Structure 1
Amino acid sequence: MIAPTKTLCPYCGVGCGLEVQPPALPGKTTHRDAAGTPIWRVRGDRQHPSSRGRVCVKGATVAESLDKNRLKYPMMRHSLDDPFQRVSWDEALDRIVTHIHQVRQDSGSHAICMYGSGQFQTEDYYVAQKLMKGCLGTNNFDANSRLCMSSAVAGYIQSLGSDGPPCCYDDLERTDCAFLIGTNAAECHPIAFNRLRDYHKKNRKVKLVVVDPRETPTAKAADLHLAIRPGTDIDLLHGIGHLLLRWQAFDALFIEDCTQGFSEYTQTLQSYPPELVARRCNIRLDELELAARYWAENERVLSMWSMGLNQSSEGTAKVRSLINLHLMTGSIGKPGAGPFSLTGQPNAMGGREAGGLSHLLPGYRLVKNPQHRAEVERHWQLPPGQIDPSPGLAAWDMMLGLEAGLVQLFWVAATNPAVSMPDIGRTKAALRRSPLTVYQDAYYPTETAEYAHILLPAAQWSEKTGTMTNSERVVTLCPQFREAPGEARPDWEIFAEVGRRLGFEAQFEFSDAAAVHREFVALTKSRVCDMSGMSHEGLQERTLQWPHPEGAEDVPEGRYSKRLYEDLRFPTADGRARFCASHTRGLAEAPDPEYPFVLTTGRVYEHWHTQTRTGRIPKISQKYPHPFIEIHPRDAKKLEILDEMWVLIRGRRGEGRFKATVTTAIAPGTLFIPMHWGFLWADNSEANALTHPEACPDSLQPELKACAVQLLPLPIASDASEQQQQDVMAINRSSG
């Protein structure tokens, strides 16, 4: 019997372990997909500590997309109006390198931008940082994690002194009260939620609170569902804090010994009396009081959040307002308690560790910090002052740079900004202005490929070796177990080859991904995310959780805990955590008589991001064959909209057509559409045609979760629209 390859699911940040076997095994029937193509067998890895053998439908079917619509060879064109022509790697790389030299000479390195992805392995992220921030001297590397988790990063740094979720998945089964806000974990992080749900069912004293304007599958499992009005998260959290202060249900000793800023915070809470908060949030007063009672009466409160808090023009303040409640009650640094950010993408955590946002450097360092820059320059054997002291362009700023003609080279890898960016009409117009766009991906066609001049075929999960870190800081080695199609190459190898051709041979003499990893983990030594004791060789034996410093294998069991801050000391100048005293500003774009509804966006269980993988798997697409919009019956009746009717939704930047789902699961005055559909998969059904780019001033994360819209019925066009949607999807599902 051939031993299965142990690896990690390449979808969400839960980081489920998988076991993968070849399509054909001795004495076994060849495993095939619905079209009859042989595919690898995938099952959950029972020995993986995070998932314990469980796997969701996306992970179970991931192998079915590996050979569909693959980009196999470099392609190039001179104008966006020209067709692509197949070229050699040398031709493609020569054009890129020549253009980089020209841009640096004419405009400087700051006219070069790279936009990466939480789909990268850590080795890909690290080599990209070395190329851009080190050798080229520009911090213009950002990733789609900016749209996903950057408010969590900023919140952790400002409140606790460093990025890094302090909790672990074992806390899901040790808490007294789980407080979920801004996360539909049952659909977006299903295996982690299933662990919590099973524990909750078996322990009646354990409470589950869910804060969400929608009655999601997550909310349906709750003891208390707070269907707050969009944009009132800080009101709610400060309202809970107000009641805890009134009841004197706070840990005075912890606050005195371990925190700063409590006095200012208590002054802020005076502006949030429960009657006012309940009215603003559109919930009952007794519901608010019950939520506060759960915080007051349970020693171990575990909060979890995702994009519902992060994707906001006040995302960092929301995250910090939640952390405030943990600092107020001392529910941090102990089993079953703490603020737990659920990461969106499979290796967004690894990207943060490797410095994969425009203000970061590897090892949880900041580009603004002169000591941090000097440490990285020495490690990279670069002259002092090589790393720019100013943060680079964040994701949306890159679009503005293209729009203004300031960005002369835009390099996109493993993500699809022509669907996922806010204000997608403006985004597409900006992309069309790019003098040269390099698009590096595993699949073709994608929406972003429409705006590229050079296409580089990338090896994806299963075709290259590297590491990924999940939401609980567990690092898993993902080994190559199949050959990449055509001439596809690992992302890190492409970045390294460009670096060598630019003249930085010494910086990119990596023999393999293990060598990249060795250099990276050495940069984490003595940092919060210390992984200096990890290696590809060691990770072949088992997964490891950081901190895992050099020599960790030789110390007594329990020296390096699963949780951060168990000693109640924080990585700040004085070892104390910081309270946040921010007031709420509300939505950046509030509803008005012309645009009376608040539109919120999100995910569905079956699909992933912009469907680059899942849209090509028929059994995944069957449940949601077309996009939809949720509307409350009261609003539907007023507008004479019936269930299954096609409707027009219009905002200040664009419009779209969706099939109505009339349901009490959405609050009156609020609408919901999923963000997965781009123009390859449906006609005029892009969620981000409506969203705006207003962002949190600290995290620079856009407010993708709320915008103002109007709604109109479209009964006559419904049949034609539905057929058009089905035709488009059928074309794009077919294998290339």
Structure 2
Amino acid sequence: MSQATRSACKVNTTCPYCGVGCGVTATMADGVLSAVEGDRDHPANFGRLCVKGSALHETLGHHDRLTTPWVDGQAVDWNVALTTLAERLQATRAAYGAESVAAYLSGQLLTEDYYVANKLFKGFLGTPHLDTNSRLCMASAVAAYKRSLGADAVPCNYEDLEEAELVVLVGSNLAWNHPVLYQRLKVAKTRNPLMRVVVIDPRVTDSCEIADLYLGIAPGSDAVLFNGLLAWMAENNKLDQLYLDRHTESFDEALLAASHHDINDVAAMCDIDPERLETFYYWFASQLHVVTLYSQGVNQSTSGTDKCNAIINCHLAGGKIGLPGAGPFSITGQPNAMGGREVGGLANQLAAHMDYHTSGALDRVTHFWATETLTPELPQAPGYKAIELFDAVERGEIKALWIMATNPAVSLPDAVRVRRALEKCPLVIVSECASHTDLLAYADIILPATGWSEKDGTVTNSERRISRQRGLLPAPGQARHDWWIICETAKRLGFHEAFDYTHPHEIFDEHARLSGFENDGESKRLFDISGLVGLGREGYDALAPIQWPVTCSAPHGTARLFEDGEFATHNGRAKFIAVTPRLPEQRLSDAYPLRLNTGRIRDQWHTMTRTARAPRLMNHRYEPFIELHPNDAANYGIGDQQLAVLSAPSGAYRGRVRISNAQRRGEVFIPMHWSDAFSKSARSGAMLKAITDPISGQPEAKHGAVALAPLKTAWEATLLIAQPLEDNSQQEAPPWCKSDYWARVPMQGCQRWQLADAKPVHNWLALLAKWLPDEASLWCEDSGNGRLRAAAIVQGKLRWWLMVGPPRELPGLAWLEARFNETTISDKHRRRLLAGGEYGAADTGPVVCSCHQVGQAAIVNAIRAGDTSVEALGARLACGTQCGSCLPELKSLIEEERSHARAKQASYTEVA
């Protein structure tokens, strides 16, 4: 489609965030992507978008983008970069062998990018060491499906959540991490009052808003819980014996392993009430149409595979699979984690869902990829999984590592060791679109890649649905598509014939042909999209969302798997797995007595390279935080909103305390998003040991062991500073980053810095003169209380604004943000600068509704004025009327105000 054709039109594409895979309709006008909305016809979301998806157009632009290749710190053209890359890869292979070369990929890549990367590294470079960051989120679920069902095949679809009689959420804060699915489930529950929802999670999350039953289990006890369920079903004659006899095997072994404890023992081990536990068991066993939806809270464990299999066991035992509204449903973290697995993106895979141990797979893939002049030399055994891969880099075994679209310097556990390994590696190649990621400091060769709205290809979501992610905008500068970069490198390595693609539709066609190649008889594989072979460019561009398998017998796709009870195992029977529950490997101790949980927050994504480009997404949780129970806060002498530090054997984390009854005692939660680009010491990966599940290789990211202490501070300050006119991503950090604590918060037209330090400042104006090029124009100081407000105006423009004092003393910053975007500060506004707002203006408080930027104080005032329902609040303030992500928080605020009102009334009655 030409750029002219795209002008003044709407184009359908796919969201690049979570595994829901929402359809997005982008409005293009004169070559600019001016707005986005949910695609009303896309079966994943039917027009819904979360706040991140609805802000996609706000994340675009060329600032902070890589636009030029770099080699050894020098900007070069593509020919020099690719030639140098090919020469160094070839020299490494010649000197140290094929297995000295490795790649680490990402669920942010499109399927076509993934396909050619896997083909190059495993097929023609001959190294098995290609893995992906999907190892961090989905590997345990994949291993469990394969052990039990015979294939990496999610049996359910999203409609099953709406058709179920019981939906069980395990280790999944669906409301924050997959908001559109949560909204679909919420609507379904409203339409079907008989539907029940059970939430199983150590934390009381926003997903509990629709829960009929909440089980706040002890971290790591999931396998105990589901083993107990299996035993209870057997004891109470709730098994589907006919299904067991016809379609499964090894049930007796699994039941024996699950029958060591009665329900009271299970309740004690899970730290939950026995009656509530038995209620869950009864509900599960009594309903046929049950969906258990599970995510990272189950997967990210040293026994994650067993936990997933314990869930699958219960579904098989009751025949609750292959039916509408029934099945074990693992929900994917990234937009194309499944697409990457389809093409062999994991180190233990070949391609097209073929494994090294699959009979004839090596010969089959070799034959398929062979050309007239080239025959691939595939490795004979699986390669290193993610953690093992970086261990091998540190040992010096891996000499060349190509990292694409991910930031292991932040996201991997024991990140200090990962950084040490990267420093030692002779050749680090990074394909990236952002110019300020932590990883770039370790790269010898940097390759500027395209991002969302520029990339063109396909992705596969959590329900096996393939969708087009269409290219809408031209790439900035010299940025190029990942598939192009890989193929151009391959050509320079001498593999021209095997990588002579001109468009991603050709790659997709080859991928589809491989999925159907010799896919019959004893070598029959479930993943098969041969029905999409021969689309051509026009058909590929017009491809509508479709669920695999897509074959001659299922040309319109397959909504649900295993409906006939025939599984992808050697004998067609699902296999029960005997599960022996194991405690987390990271044990608590006197030195590290608190259990650490990590995870996502509502408005952010991964390491914020995209979401932080939309300032309104930073307002809900604007700095790193530590969430803990009130009793723990009291024990450690820490108040709400005070700065604190967590320490672990491998690192430290600094953040602002949020006291919450949603936390269990003895446990803390921190977000996974902050990197060195946004804070001084807030990388969650630095707090975790690199311990993995022995089957899946997935790290234990939910069960750290940490100590807590207040962060000693003599002062805190908030600095707002105007955006520089030029890109400063390659410049040194500003001087205030030497403070003991800092967090950077992008705003519209300025940057906000939260600062703190233990060393007193005796002359703030003198310090500001060293920090900033512009002298203070206005200031007001209360030296007795250690308070200062100051601002600099240069040629009528506001250059910076400072408040010394804790953030709770800040005015609402929207007024100040607007001043940074003014060409000239008026006399009226100048007089109010130090106050930070108009006279008498109310502070709206921290943002709750990111879509409409509605603050907590405004919401509370509306509730007190009589708007005591989310509908009334929406009518008055518009909060909760767009994506719906804030609705649970709105309900919590309503309930809090009701509780305050009841307490106040009780006190009046007592006095009377």
Q: SS of the counterpart of 1:145? A: helix
Contact 2:616 2:747 in 1 (8 A): no
Structure 2 CA distance for aligned equivalents of residues 199 and 278 of structure 1? 30
> Partner of 1:166 in structure 2?
155
Q: SS of the counterpart of 1:178? A: strand
Give, in angstroms, the shift of residue 85 of structure 1: 1.9
Contact 1:92 1:454 in 2 (8 A): yes
Structure 2 CA distance for aligned equivalents of residues 313 and 541 of structure 1? 40
Return the TM-score normalized by structure 2: 0.76
Give, in angstroms, the shift of residue 349 of structure 1: 0.8
Question: Superposition pairs for residues 449-468 of structure 1, below 5 Å?
Answer: 449-468=440-459
Give, in angstroms, the shift of residue 432 of structure 1: 0.8
Give, in angstroms, the shift of residue 552 of structure 1: 4.0
Question: Superposition pairs for residues 234-249 of structure 1, below 5 Å?
Answer: 234-249=223-238
Residue from 397, 405, 408 that aligns with 2:399: 408
Q: How many residues align?
A: 712
Of 382-391 and 560-569, the range deviating more from structure 2: 382-391
Letter in 2 for 1:542: A
> Partner of 2:515 in structure 1?
524
CA deviations 1:685-713 (Å, max 9, x no partner) are: 11111111110111000101111111112
Question: Superposition pairs for residues 142-541 of structure 1, below 5 Å?
Answer: 142-381=131-370, 386-525=377-516, 526=519, 527-534=525-532, 535=535, 537-539=538-540, 540-541=542-543
Contact 2:550 2:558 in 1 (8 A): no
Letter in 2 for 1:390: A
Letter in 1 for 2:603: E
Contact 1:354 1:363 in 2 (8 A): yes
Give, in angstroms, the shift of residue 208 of structure 1: 0.4
> Partner of 1:60 in structure 2?
54
| Residue 41 in structure 1 maps to residue 39 in structure 2 | no
Contact 2:11 2:28 in 1 (8 A): no
CA deviations 1:99-133 (Å, max 9, x no partner) are: 11111111111011111100111000000011001
Return the TM-score normalized by structure 1: 0.94
Structure 1 CA distance for aligned equivalents of residues 598 and 311 of structure 2? 22
Q: SS of the counterpart of 1:642? A: coil
Q: SS of the counterpart of 2:84? A: helix
Contact 2:248 2:574 in 1 (8 A): yes
Structure 1 CA distance for aligned equivalents of residues 414 and 718 of structure 2? 23
Structure 2 CA distance for aligned equivalents of residues 733 and 529 of structure 1? 48
Of 379-388 and 263-272, the range deviating more from structure 2: 379-388
Structure 2 CA distance for aligned equivalents of residues 102 and 588 of structure 1? 41
Letter in 2 for 1:502: L
Contact 1:71 1:442 in 2 (8 A): yes
Contact 2:600 2:672 in 1 (8 A): yes
Structure 1 CA distance for aligned equivalents of residues 652 and 91 of structure 2? 40
RMSD between aligned residues: 1.9
> Partner of 1:728 in structure 2?
744
> Partner of 2:635 in structure 1?
638
Structure 2 CA distance for aligned equivalents of residues 615 and 339 of structure 1? 34
Letter in 2 for 1:451: Y
Q: SS of the counterpart of 1:476? A: strand
Question: Superposition pairs for residues 50-199 of structure 1, below 5 Å?
Answer: 50-67=44-61, 68-77=63-72, 84-199=73-188
Contact 1:185 1:218 in 2 (8 A): yes
Give, in angstroms, the shift of residue 630 of structure 1: 0.7
Structure 1 CA distance for aligned equivalents of residues 636 and 159 of structure 2? 48
Letter in 1 for 2:179: P
Structure 1 CA distance for aligned equivalents of residues 430 and 246 of structure 2? 51
Structure 2 CA distance for aligned equivalents of residues 495 and 176 of structure 1? 48
Structure 2 CA distance for aligned equivalents of residues 616 and 470 of structure 1? 24
Contact 2:618 2:746 in 1 (8 A): no
Give, in angstroms, the shift of residue 368 of structure 1: 2.9
> Partner of 1:81 in structure 2?
none
Structure 1 CA distance for aligned equivalents of residues 375 and 615 of structure 2? 54
Q: SS of the counterpart of 2:515? A: coil
CA deviations 1:542-566 (Å, max 9, x no partner) are: 211111114644xxx8xx5410000
Contact 1:149 1:310 in 2 (8 A): yes
Structure 1 CA distance for aligned equivalents of residues 530 and 749 of structure 2? 43
| Residue 597 in structure 1 maps to residue 594 in structure 2 | yes
CA deviations 1:631-668 (Å, max 9, x no partner) are: 00111111111100111111121111111101101111
Question: Superposition pairs for residues 612-631 of structure 1, below 5 Å?
Answer: 612-631=609-628
Structure 1 CA distance for aligned equivalents of residues 33 and 157 of structure 2? 34
> Partner of 2:26 in structure 1?
20
> Partner of 1:29 in structure 2?
none
Identity, in percent, stands at 39
Structure 2 CA distance for aligned equivalents of residues 40 and 158 of structure 1? 47
Residue from 547, 551, 568 that aligns with 1:545: 547
> Partner of 1:80 in structure 2?
none
Structure 1 CA distance for aligned equivalents of residues 452 and 717 of structure 2? 38
Give, in angstroms, the shift of residue 461 of structure 1: 2.0
Contact 1:180 1:209 in 2 (8 A): yes
Structure 1 CA distance for aligned equivalents of residues 77 and 454 of structure 2? 20
Distance 1:141 1:40, change over 3 A: farther
Contact 2:632 2:666 in 1 (8 A): yes
Letter in 2 for 1:481: L
Q: SS of the counterpart of 2:716? A: helix
Q: SS of the counterpart of 1:40? A: strand
Contact 2:623 2:743 in 1 (8 A): no
Contact 1:74 1:86 in 2 (8 A): yes
> Partner of 1:28 in structure 2?
none
Contact 2:123 2:376 in 1 (8 A): no
Distance 1:640 1:727, change over 3 A: closer
| Residue 585 in structure 1 maps to residue 565 in structure 2 | no
Give, in angstroms, the shift of residue 530 of structure 1: 1.1
Distance 1:730 1:261, change over 3 A: same
Give, in angstroms, the shift of residue 464 of structure 1: 2.7
Contact 1:173 1:199 in 2 (8 A): yes
CA deviations 1:294-322 (Å, max 9, x no partner) are: 11111111011111111110111111111
CA deviations 1:560-589 (Å, max 9, x no partner) are: 541000000101111000111120111011
Contact 2:437 2:677 in 1 (8 A): yes
Contact 1:463 1:484 in 2 (8 A): yes
Letter in 1 for 2:676: F
Contact 2:228 2:259 in 1 (8 A): no
Structure 2 CA distance for aligned equivalents of residues 712 and 175 of structure 1? 46
Structure 2 CA distance for aligned equivalents of residues 607 and 353 of structure 1? 27
Give, in angstroms, the shift of residue 730 of structure 1: 4.3
Structure possessing the higher radius of gyration over alpha carbons: 2
Give, in angstroms, the shift of residue 162 of structure 1: 0.2
Contact 1:212 1:219 in 2 (8 A): no
Structure 2 CA distance for aligned equivalents of residues 721 and 709 of structure 1? 29
5+ residue gaps, structure 2, are 1-6, 520-524, 720-735, 752-912
Q: SS of the counterpart of 1:523? A: helix
Contact 1:13 1:345 in 2 (8 A): yes
Distance 1:541 1:92, change over 3 A: closer
Q: SS of the counterpart of 1:7? A: strand
Contact 1:682 1:729 in 2 (8 A): no
Q: SS of the counterpart of 1:448? A: helix
Distance 1:731 1:107, change over 3 A: farther
Give, in angstroms, the shift of residue 529 of structure 1: 1.7
Distance 1:125 1:720, change over 3 A: same
Structure 2 CA distance for aligned equivalents of residues 550 and 365 of structure 1? 21
Letter in 1 for 2:551: P
Distance 1:616 1:726, change over 3 A: farther
5+ residue gaps, structure 1, are 26-37, 78-83
